[in-house]
Amino acid sequence: MILRRYFSTFLLGFLIVFFSANLRAQSQPVIHVITMDGIVNPVSAEFIESSINDATKAGAEALVIQLDTPGGLMTSMRKIVKAELSSEVPVIMYVYPSGSQDASAGVFISYAAHIFAMAPGTNVGAAHPVTLGGGTPGGESPDSTQSETMNEKVTNDAVAYIKSIAQKRGRNVEWAEDAVRKSVSITETEALDLGVIDYIAPTLDSLLAQVNGDTVEVPAGEKILNTTNPEIVQKEMSFRYRILDILSHPNVAYILMMLGFYGLFFELSNPGAIFPGVIGALCLILAFFAFQVLPINYAGVALILLALILFIAEIKITSYGLLTVGGIVSMIIGSIMLFETAQPVFRVSWSVILVVVACTVLFFVFAVGMALRAQKSKPTTGVEGLVDEVGTADTPIYHSGTVSVHGETWSAFSDNLIPEGAQVKVVEVHQMKIKVEEYSGR
């Protein structure tokens, strides 16, 4: 009887501990965390969209996006904003770590988040849109009136867009408009005072502690955040996204394109080498893939191709350096024009351009020098290669006779009588007969 009572008490205690632990496990909130560090482009847009979908499917309490961006494409920004505004999972935008920035397209993305926070030593702003291109649909350069009108249209559209986002999320509308029209930028403390952000947090843990209990609005209605003792799930970019993100960098795309051109040039110059052709084709395929997510300007590509043609022509035609100068100018201008945007984040770095142009010029200068040296050098093969060679007279030589040169017997003649067995030097070649003179060895 006593044993049964002890056993019942032990079983009851065990069940209480088991179920309480299970309930605590079930009630522990899960927070997904991703990092967006770099340009806003189609790759980052797809990554954020998929991360929001994954967090929704996993039933996460919130998705934290640690942000550091100089901006990027407006089209990609709009895709991210749409995903945020329709997300059932609260999105917390966190400009982190210290020293990070949230500029241009990043401001729109942050304003669309349910909660916007910044780490100490960060800044936000400078969201004035920069139009892509620089010409009219017909290809001619626009006049100042057309440019001003187009810029005004783009700016007004961006202002209306960010104001609608700010009103929906209850953020500072006036500052948002100034960020777009006047490119103003502020620190995290100024942003908090102006109602641009919700919190300043030095770490992720401190941020989650501050947002605990906040009420946010999702499409299904209001949601109270529970971030007490959360389970943090770090979601990294997949290998596919990392590769695509690297390839979509303007400098990488530019270098791949140039390597592709070089590889094909070497293969066409030396048919059968195979390796340069394979590498060149692979680099070109990767470059053209990158061009799909970059604002490529095909006039820039054409100028770079023209530069390579001019460099190749320099090898064949004596232009005293004019073709090389034209190639250098064409390659530099083409490299600058390669990506059709005025945004600095999508320009090819000047250091990369100068290094590529310098290497290209040095290679073709070396090739031209070798070609000129080959033209001036004495032939070493064929009949012409016999000139100045030394042989032995097999017979007496005057108007006719035979000599041995390089182990071959040749019909020969001379202006002076040369005795049999004497050393002779080849002076001229006349079809299959050679003219020789006696050689003294000096």
pLDDT of residue 380: 52
Enzyme catalytic residues: 104, 153
pLDDT of residue 19: 47
pLDDT digits (tens, 9 = 90+) for 325-342: 888 899 889 888 887 665
The region of weakest confidence among 20-34, 108-122, 248-262 is: 20-34
Grade residue 46 by pLDDT with cuts at 50, 70 and 90: very high
Instruction: Pick 93 or 417 by higher pLDDT.
Output: 93
For 68, list phi and psi in degrees, rounded to 5.
Answer: -155, 100
Residues 280 and 260: beta-carbon distance below 8 Å: yes
Instruction: Pick 422 or 108 by higher pLDDT.
Output: 108
pLDDT of residue 381: 52
Residue 423, Cβ density class (10 Å: 0-12 exposed, 13-18 middle, ≥19 buried): middle
Indicate the domain borders of the chain: 23-133+142-241, 250-376, 383-438
Question: Hey, what CATH class is 23-133+142-241 in?
Answer: alpha beta
Closest CA to 155 of 136, 196, 183: 183
pLDDT of residue 68: 96
The pTM assigned to this predicted structure is: 0.68
E strand spans, 127-227: 185-187, 199-200, 215-218, 221-224
Mean pLDDT value across residues 356-375: 71
CB atoms within 10 A of CB 162: 24
Mean pLDDT value across residues 267-280: 80
Place of tokens 């395929």: 285
Listed in sequence order, the residues at least 6 apart from 336 whose beta carbon sits closer than 8 Å to its beta carbon are 300, 347, 348, 353
pLDDT digits (tens, 9 = 90+) for 167-199: 999 999 999 999 999 999 999 999 999 999 999
Grade residue 134 by pLDDT with cuts at 50, 70 and 90: very low
DSSP class per residue in 185-213: EEEHHHHHHTTS-SEE-SSHHHHHHHHTT
pLDDT of residue 22: 45
- Helices (H) and strands (E) in the chain — how many of each? 14, 16
**Can you give the three-state secondary structure of 276-345, one letter per residue?**
HHHHHHHHHHHHHHHHHCCCECHHHHHHHHHHHHHHHHHHHCCCCCHHHHHHHHHHHHHHHHCECECCHH
Instruction: Pick 364 or 98 by higher pLDDT.
Output: 98
> For the domain 383-438, what is the CATH superfamily, name and number?
Nucleic acid-binding proteins (2.40.50.140)
The region of weakest confidence among 68-72, 149-153, 226-230, 234-238 is: 149-153
| 36/80 Cα distance (integer angstroms) | 12
pLDDT of residue 133: 39
Cis (ω within 30 of 0) for the bond into 396?
A: no
Length of the chain as a residue count: 442
